[in-house]
Each structure stands twice: as C-alpha cells, then as structure tokens.
Amino acid sequence: MTEGQRTNSMRLLESRRVPYTAHYFSPSIHSADGVAEALGVPAAQVFKTLVALPQRGKPLLAIVPGDRELDLKALAKAAGDKKVHMATQKEAEALTGLQVGGISALALLDKGFRVFLDASAEGFDTILVSAGERGINLQLPVADLVRLTRARLAPLATAEG
C-alpha cells in the first residue's frame, strides 16, 4: 500500500470523525522499536497489538508499548481469567485475518475480541497503533482509541529483558 491509499481502519476513523495521522514506513520493519526509530518517535508511544488466548472464550487483543513486553499474568487478571497464553504467529493471523505486524484492534471492531490497553497509554495525548497493514501506523488520541475499541485500561506491560 502506498501513501494516499486508505485502510479499513482509516475509513473507520474518518466515518467517526476521529482525527488521525497516518505514518508510513518500510513493511520490512516488524518491531515497534523499529517503527519508532523509523518515525522518530519514542518507542513508549508506539503500541503493538498482540493476540492472547484465554483458557476459554474468545481471543484477547493486548495493546502494549513497543519498548515493553506483555505480562501474561497481568492480562489474565485484567481479563478475569486464570491463565492466558500468546497465540502463535499462525494462530494470530488465522484468528484476525491480518498479518503479524499489522494486527489492529481498529480493523477488528465487532469481531468479538476483548481489547486491553496498557495503562501507560494514559501518559500520552496520542499513541501510534497499526493501521491493520504492515508499513502503516495511525497516530490518534488515546481517548478515541479506548472509546472505539471499548478497550479496558490495565497495567499489562513489563520492561523488556
């Protein structure tokens, strides 16, 4: 996709009159850290969307900062589950219909996913999330992301290491 073309996530934001900025980068970049570097923004402001599986029920989407790791125990607690585990790349792509690196809660509205956003997002006016396709991130107000995705804010991330 080239600049100027719009993803379903962009059309959704436009239809709901949510202001956003599209940021384009090489689709060969597969990490939020790499995206942050390419775009010249702090990695803590670039959020990645991960797919986790509870013991029962629908898959979960966890949106966490690019410079942190998902704490599965914290996600399980936030979701009211005893235990959750990460989906494999193959499972994540099959469940979402999107490529890893391009998974977006905005592209998956009304698909039955429960969405959880790391509470650190509240420290920013805007954050960057995937547009639903590798190579494009959308910068939008945190409050609008929470409202549209019905995300539950919770401490989900731990320092990488």
* Residue 97, token pair as written in the block: 């219909």
Question: Average per-residue pLDDT in the chain?
Answer: 94
Backbone angles phi, psi at 45, to 5 degrees: -100, -10
Give the type of residue at 24: Y
Q: Residues 79, 62: contact at Cβ < 8 Å? A: no
Q: Are 9 and 131 in contact (CB under 8 A)?
A: yes
CB contact burial 98-107 (16+ within 10 A = b; e otherwise) = bbbbbbbbbb
Give me the domains of the chain, ranges plus CATH numbers.
8-159 (3.90.960.10)
Taking Cα atoms as reference points, which of 44, 48, 58 lies closest to residue 100? Answer: 48
The number of residues in the chain equals 161
Residue type for position 108: L
Q: Residue 4 — pLDDT band, cuts 50, 70, 90?
A: low
Is the pLDDT assigned to residue 161 strictly greater than 60? no
Residue 3's pLDDT band (boundaries 50, 70, 90)? low
pTM exceeding 0.75 = yes
Q: What is the pLDDT of residue 159?
A: 78
Using one digit for the tens of pLDDT, what is the confidence trace for 110-149? Answer: 899 999 999 999 999 999 999 999 999 999 999 999 999 9
Query: CA separation (Å) from 151 to 25, 64, 71, 113?
Result: 26, 12, 17, 10
Identify the pLDDT of residue 6.
Answer: 87
Structure tokens, 114: 């429960």
Q: Rounded to whole angstroms, how far apart are CA atoms 62 and 113?
A: 10
